Amino acid sequence: MTTVDQFVQAVLASPSPYTGLDQIYVHNRILALVGDDNPVTAVDDQLTSLTDALVQTALTNGKIEDTPSDRDILADQLMDLVTPLPSALNQTFWNKYQTSPQAATDYFYHLSKANDYIKTRAIAKNVVFPATTDFGDLEITINLSKPEKDPKAIAAARNQPQDGYPLCQLCMENEGYLGRLGYPARSNHRIIRLTLGGETWGFQYSPYAYFNEHSIFLDQVHRPMVINRQTFSNLLEIVKQFPHYFVGSNADLPIVGGSMLSHEHYQGGRHVFPMMKAPIARQLDLGIAGVEAGIVKWPMSTIRLTSTDQVALLDAATKIHNVWMDYSDESVAVRAYTDNVRHHTTTPIARKVGDQYVLDLVLRDNQTSTQYPDGIFHPHQDVQHIKKENIGLIEVMGRAILPARLKTELQEVAKYLLGRHNQMVAMHQPWADAIKAKTNITADNVDAVIDREVGQVFARVLADAGVFKWDAAGEAAFNRFVAAVKAD
Q: Footprint of Zn ion on residues 31-60 (CB under 5 A)?
A: none
> Residue 170, interface with Zn ion (CB under 5 A)?
yes
Give buried/exposed letters for 39-72 (b at 16+ CB in 10 A, else e): bbebeeeebbebbbbbbbbbbeeebbeeeebbbb
In single-letter form, the type of residue at position 419 comes to G
Nearest CA to 358 out of 301, 299, 302, 300 is that of: 302
Binding-site size for Zn ion (CB under 5 A) equals: 6
> Residue 191, interface with Zn ion (CB under 5 A)?
no
Q: Which part of the chain contacts Zn ion (CB under 5 A), choosing from 119-127, 167-175, 278-286, 377-385?
A: 167-175
Query: C-beta of 191: minimal distance to Zn ion in Å?
Result: 12
Query: C-beta of 335: minimal distance to Zn ion in Å?
Result: 32
> Residue 171, interface with Zn ion (CB under 5 A)?
yes
Based on CB atoms, which residue is closest to Zn ion, 146 or 263?
Answer: 263
Contact 116, 124 (CB under 8 A): no
Query: C-beta of 165: minimal distance to Zn ion in Å?
Result: 11
Out of 12, 31, 157, 167, point to the residue binding Zn ion (CB under 5 A).
167
Based on CB atoms, which residue is closest to Zn ion, 171 or 300?
Answer: 171
From residue 220 to residue 239, the character string flagging contacts with Zn ion as x (rule: CB under 5 A) and all else as - is --x-----------------
Based on CB atoms, which residue is closest to Zn ion, 10 or 218?
Answer: 218
Q: Within the chain, how many helices (H) and strands (E) appear?
A: 16, 15
Query: C-beta of 342: minimal distance to Zn ion in Å?
Result: 23
CA distance 275 to 458: 13
Query: C-beta of 149: minimal distance to Zn ion in Å?
Result: 20
Q: Which residues pair with 364 in a beta bridge?
A: 345
Based on CB atoms, which residue is closest to Zn ion, 224 or 287?
Answer: 224
How many Cα neighbours within 13 Å face the side chain of 54?
30
- Other beta carbons within 10 angstroms of residue 31's beta carbon come to 16
Query: C-beta of 222: minimal distance to Zn ion in Å?
Result: 4
> Residue 113, interface with Zn ion (CB under 5 A)?
no
CA distance 54 to 60: 10
> Residue 122, interface with Zn ion (CB under 5 A)?
no
Q: Which helix (H) or strand (E) holds 321?
A: helix 310-325
Q: Footprint of Zn ion on residues 252-271 (CB under 5 A)?
A: 263
Q: Which part of the chain contacts Zn ion (CB under 5 A), choosing from 21-29, 83-91, 139-147, 162-170?
A: 162-170
Query: C-beta of 392: minimal distance to Zn ion in Å?
Result: 18
User: Which residues touch 188 (CB under 8 Å, ≥6 apart)?
Assistant: 76, 77, 79, 80, 82, 83, 115, 116, 117
Task: Tell me which residues touch Zn ion (CB under 5 A).
Answer: 167-168, 170-171, 222, 263
